[in-house]
Amino acid sequence: MFCSCGPLPALILVGIHPPKHETFDLAAHTNTDPKGVVRAVDVYTVQPWGLYMARPTPGRAQFHYLESWLLPALGLRITVFHFNPGHEREQDYYLDVGVYTAGPVCWHGEDHYLDLVLRTGRGVHVTDVDELFAAVRDGLLNAESGEHAVRTAVATVDALARHDYDLDRWLASIGITLTWRAA
């Protein structure tokens, strides 16, 4: 939201949360979400460029299943949500900007607020810029990490635009092929 009259109202930025952390335990086949809830994972697949996870999402009204690829070198988590009827959204992929770290048994993710909503062939929308700036302002994320998040988002938007907003075309051009299962 742009306001030429001054800064955004403070109430928009109140209650900013610290960066969300997640754990992906390959041995236990679990995913611990940012709230500490441990969920069973149906599939983990490790590739040289990242980690694939597929799991149900019990208790979620909006969607019943999610699939994600963690791509550490790109600073992205790419997710496909399988929406329940009546909760569909106009998006093909949801990209979280953050730091994703590979480990031999556990992978870790730290979300850096910025999200990109991709509609294949049509465009990409960047969200939560206000949250990122508030987190940096409030000391929840250091300035270097905030700058890295912005640079990652801009580079991703640029790459997608150069490939006609086609995620698969962009990633194939850098040697990454993502696979998804139907759920």
Q: pTM of the prediction?
A: 0.87
Please write the tens of the pLDDT for every residue from 36-78.
999 999 999 999 999 999 998 877 767 678 999 999 999 999 9
In a domain, 182, yes or no: no
Tens of pLDDT along 149-174? 999 999 999 999 999 999 999 999 99
Q: Assign 87 a pLDDT band (cuts: 50, 70, 90).
A: low
Q: Compute the distance between CA of residue 9 and CA of residue 123 in angstroms, rounded to an integer.
A: 29
Query: Average model confidence (pLDDT) for the chain?
Result: 88
Is 178 within a domain?
no
142 part of a folded domain: yes
Domains of the chain: total:
1
Residue 183 lies in a domain: no
Which structural domain range is residue 64 located in?
A: 20-173
The CATH number linked to 113 is 2.40.380.10
